[in-house]
Chain A
């Protein structure tokens, strides 16, 4: 069964403390791996799409990477405004499968 698992469920960081969020997937025929950011009370906001193992994409303090089994969202020197829930989703040949998210809190 196709599945996407995100870890940790929650992460607390001090401002400037770099870390990584994990998205493990078991998907037949991966067509794309998506990362979204979701602020409380709002809809998911698109961040990145990765299509093949070895691919990397960056945006400000965020960098997403992809292997054949998992994707990482690296956060370098985070700021309080990076606090949000980060969702990943894997696209197989048929549908988009979402993980349950990692809730990130960054404290000043």
Chain B
């Protein structure tokens, strides 16, 4: 099993450009999450999904959109990137709710110039 995978691993964007980050999991987990990790701050939840076709806002959802068209995939979109979105983005999944163990992907490092 590959677990949780993320693409791309690294990306540089100019302010105003758009992009989509892809997360895939092969563990048949219901819940999937997108976090961002910034220096000096804990992981912060952007959006999450409790199942195929569902999404919900986390702590810091502004400037991001998500979609979960297939159970195994969770996409994070930036419609108009801003320098404040420079961060490392992690996808995670869990079998059921947020109280269960979350398994993380390797991360995507995003630099917005």
Contacts and interface: CB of A to CB of B under 8 A. Distances in A.
A45 B104 contact: yes
B99 A43 contact: no
Interface of A: 4, 31-32, 34, 36, 41-46, 49, 87, 89, 91, 94-101
Interface of B: 4, 40-45, 58-59, 90, 92, 98-99, 101-107
Nearest to B48: A95
Contacts of B41: 100
Contacts of B43: 44, 87, 89, 98
Contact residues of B: prevailing secondary structure: loop
Contacts of A34: 101-102
B40 A43 contact: no
Please name the 7 residue pairs, one residue from A and one from B, whose CB atoms are nearest each other, closest first. A98-B42, A43-B104, A98-B43, A91-B99, A44-B104, A31-B99, A43-B106
Contact of A43 (B44, B58, B59, B90): B90
6 contacts: A34-B101, A46-B103, A89-B42, A96-B102, A97-B42, A100-B42
Nearest to A46: B101
A29 B44 CA distance: 20
A96 B98 contact: yes
A31 B40 CA distance: 25
Contact of A91 (B44, B92, B98, B106): B98
A70 to B, nearest CB: 16
The winner among B4, B45, B59, B104 for most chain A CB atoms within 10 A is: B104
The winner among A34, A41, A43, A95 for most chain B CB atoms within 10 A is: A43
Contacts of A91: 98-99
